[in-house]
Amino acid sequence: MSLEIGRLSYPLGAEITGVDISKPLDEQIRRRIHAAFLEHSVLLFRGQSLTREQHIEFGRQFGEVDSQDEVPKYKHPDYPQILVHKSNPNGQPADKYPGKIWHSDHCYRLIPAMATLLRGIDVPRVGGDTMFANMYLAYEALSEGMKKLLEGLHGVHYGGKARVDTSTPERAAQTSQIAPPVAQPLVRVHPETGRKTLFVGEKCKEIEGLNSDESLLLLRYLCQLAARPQFVYRHRWQNNDLLMWDNRCTNHIALNDYDPTQIRHMEKTTLRGTPSGYVFEGSRQYEGPRL
For residue range 8-35, what is the model confidence (pLDDT) as tens digits?
Answer: 999 999 999 999 999 999 999 999 999 9
User: Is the CB of residue 269 less than 8 Å from the CB of residue 53?
Assistant: no
- Where is average pLDDT lowest: 76-85, 160-169, 173-182, 276-285? 160-169
Mean pLDDT of the chain: 90
Percentage of the chain with pLDDT > 70?
A: 86
Cβ-based neighbours of 211, under 8 Å, separated by 6 or more: none
Percentage of the chain with pLDDT > 90?
A: 77
pLDDT bucket at 290, cuts 50 / 70 / 90: very low
Q: What is the pLDDT of residue 169?
A: 64
Q: What is the average pLDDT across 257-264?
A: 88
Q: What are phi and psi of 204, to 5 degrees?
A: -90, 115
Q: How far apart are alpha carbons 175 and 161 in whole angstroms?
A: 9
pTM of the complete model beyond 0.85: yes
Q: What is the pLDDT of residue 289?
A: 41
Q: How far apart are alpha carbons 89 and 80 in whole angstroms?
A: 24
- CATH code of the domain occupying 1-291: 3.60.130.10
**DSSP classification of residue 273:** -
Q: What is the pLDDT of residue 75?
A: 87
User: Is the CB of residue 126 less than 8 Å from the CB of residue 260?
Assistant: no
Amino acid identity for residue 95 in this structure: D
User: Is the CB of residue 274 less than 8 Å from the CB of residue 114?
Assistant: yes
Torsion angle of C-alpha atoms 46, 234, 156, 184, degrees rounded to 10: 50
Given a cut of 60, is residue 248 above it in pLDDT? yes
* Closest residue by Cα to residue 217 from 227, 226, 206: 206
Q: Could you tell me which residue, 74 or 264, shows the higher pLDDT?
A: 264
Q: What is the pLDDT of residue 8?
A: 98
User: Is the CB of residue 161 less than 8 Å from the CB of residue 176?
Assistant: no
Q: What is the pLDDT of residue 234?
A: 98
Q: Could you tell me which residue, 60 or 75, shows the higher pLDDT?
A: 60
For residue range 108-130, what is the model confidence (pLDDT) as tens digits?
Answer: 999 999 999 999 999 999 999 99
